Amino acid sequence: MYDSNRAAAIEFVRGAGFVILITGIFFGFVLTLGKSDSAPVQKFKVVDHYGTCAVVQYTPPQRAESVYFLDCGNQHLEQVR
């Protein structure tokens, strides 16, 4: 009876070690593939001027589109007052 318990304990330790090894390899891949060494992407960029306003290009992250808008600062608010 002692030998069968010992064999079962050895098999349990081997199985647990295998599961820990596979889990460690998986997390290692996830952590190394998830890193990006590139510099952060600029989302906003002034591309032109219209009068006294700046034409700003906004590119959302991970999207293949750009949105353009005018940035006039507080000039418009001061003219309304």
HEC profile of the chain: CHHHHHHHHHHHHHHHHHHHHHHHHHHHHHHHHHCCCCCCCCCEEEEEEECCEEEEEECCCCCCCCEEEEECCCHHHHHHC
**Taking 90 as the threshold, does the pLDDT of residue 22 lie above it?**
yes
User: So what's the pLDDT on residue 78?
Assistant: 45
Higher pLDDT, 71 or 81: 71
Phi, psi dihedral angles at 68 (to 5 degrees): -115, 140
pTM: 0.42
28/34 Cα distance (integer angstroms): 10
Mean pLDDT of 9-14: 94
Q: How confident is the model at residue 62 (pLDDT cuts 50, 70, 90)?
A: confident
